[in-house]
Amino acid sequence: MNFFFKSKQKGPVELVKATHDAMARADTTGEQQRTKANDEISRNVASMLQILRDGGADKKVPDTTSEQVAQLAQEIYTTELLPLLIGNLARLEFETRKEVSIIFGILLRRKIGSREPTIDYLVSRKNVLAALVCGYASPDAAIFCGNMLRECFKHESLAKATLSLPEFFNFFAYVEGDNFDVISDAFTSFRDALTKFKAPAVAFLTDNYDSFFAQYAVLLRSDNYVVRRQSLKLLGEILLEHKNFHVMMAYIKQGDNLKMTMNALNDKSKSIQYEAFHIFKIFVANPTKTYDVHNILYKNKDKLVKFLSDFQNDKNSDEQFRDEKVYLVREIKRLGAPKPE
């Protein structure tokens, strides 16, 4: 360690500037230079975190924060340090990645009176949110970006802003990636974005109905057991969300969706069958079935009755489930030939 260097404590402005400079140098080709630059970034990030902690910004009620904290936060916003750090997260040290996400969290919770400056900043500069989403492309950055993203999803305005990003559709690739840790994390964020705050989620699903469900259908057919099971479950949650009523109505009109559901109902995995059951029942319970849907159900009437009578009877101790099956069987038995529309 360089003792002379250490003794000279950098202020917020210098720290942020030095980090920018080091990041620029880290792009150079020399291995040694890159390591040195990386070390400096690590040191600076640690110092920034220290300033925030010393200034009381990590306290539960971060009202009484120091001048240093305010200066640091301001500097981070104006120099666009966050997108830079987030975009380069994968090349930073493990501990530094973690510290960046802690700094992010502290800044996010910052309040000045009733103002939440970081939230305002993130809403106006969507590139930060976009960088967080894109973090899933790198396994080394993924869990930290996921962490920050989910912190954002605690705020409706940020959930809304994220849903409006074109990058949001990247999630379809991330949740079906090839790294289990990443797909787990990405799916958690994906679900949070679509379920946590109803209003932006409903607006998003309504505005993007076709493209969203077209891509979602791919997840439902995934070879990956976890992806298939979790996406079925999430679909159930989305469709049965009261506020998504018209999304549900649109979904259960389409015969293809029913076919997908019936295939999943017939999957060899009981858990997948079970998730599918809770989607299937919506199609059947719909009193205004489209011709397609009615026709598919009608054509499979006898098979469905038989199937449902035998369906997962080990779960019959769950009254709810048992009653639902009885109901479905009765409804399907009652189906007459569909009338062409």
Site residues for another protein per CB under 8 A? 58, 60, 94-95, 98, 105-106, 109, 139, 143, 154, 177-181, 184-185, 188, 195-196, 198, 224-226, 229-230, 233, 236-237, 239-243, 245-246, 248-250, 269-271, 274, 278, 281-282, 285-288, 315-321, 323-324, 326-328, 330
Minimum distance from residue 290 beta carbon to another protein (Å):
9
Minimum distance from residue 328 beta carbon to another protein (Å):
8
Task: Please identify, using beta-carbon distances, which residue of 77 and 197 lies nearer to another protein.
Answer: 197
Q: How far apart are CA 210 and CA 82, in angstroms?
A: 34
Q: How far apart are CA 133 and CA 127, in angstroms?
A: 10
112 beta partners? 115
Task: Please identify, using beta-carbon distances, which residue of 77 and 144 lies nearer to another protein.
Answer: 144
Task: Please identify, using beta-carbon distances, which residue of 5 and 180 lies nearer to another protein.
Answer: 180
Task: Please identify, using beta-carbon distances, which residue of 28 and 338 lies nearer to another protein.
Answer: 338
Minimum distance from residue 31 beta carbon to another protein (Å):
21
Task: Please identify, using beta-carbon distances, which residue of 8 and 210 lies nearer to another protein.
Answer: 210
Which one-letter DSSP state was computed for residue 110?
A: -
Scanning the structure block, which residue is given the tokens 């797909």?
183
Q: How far apart are CA 194 and CA 228, in angstroms?
A: 17
First to last CA, the chain: 79
Of 50, 31, 43, 30, nearest in space to 1 by CA: 43
Task: Please identify, using beta-carbon distances, which residue of 9 and 269 lies nearer to another protein.
Answer: 269
Minimum distance from residue 206 beta carbon to another protein (Å):
8
3-state DSSP assignment of residue 178: coil
Task: Please identify, using beta-carbon distances, which residue of 167 and 237 lies nearer to another protein.
Answer: 237
Q: How many CA atoms lie within 13 A of 79 on its CB side?
A: 20
Task: Please identify, using beta-carbon distances, which residue of 80 and 156 lies nearer to another protein.
Answer: 156
Contact 45, 103 (CB under 8 A): yes
* Number of C-beta neighbours around residue 124 at 10 A: 10
Minimum distance from residue 134 beta carbon to another protein (Å):
19
Contact 81, 128 (CB under 8 A): no
Scanning the structure block, which residue is given the tokens 């099956």?
325
Minimum distance from residue 285 beta carbon to another protein (Å):
5
Distances (CA, A) of 251 to 89, 198, 233, 322: 39, 18, 15, 25
* Number of C-beta neighbours around residue 188 at 10 A: 16
Rg (CA), the chain: 26
Minimum distance from residue 158 beta carbon to another protein (Å):
15
Taking phi over 0 as left and psi of -120 to 50 as alpha, with beta for the rest, 93 belongs to: beta
Scanning the structure block, which residue is given the tokens 């009578």?
309
Minimum distance from residue 156 beta carbon to another protein (Å):
12
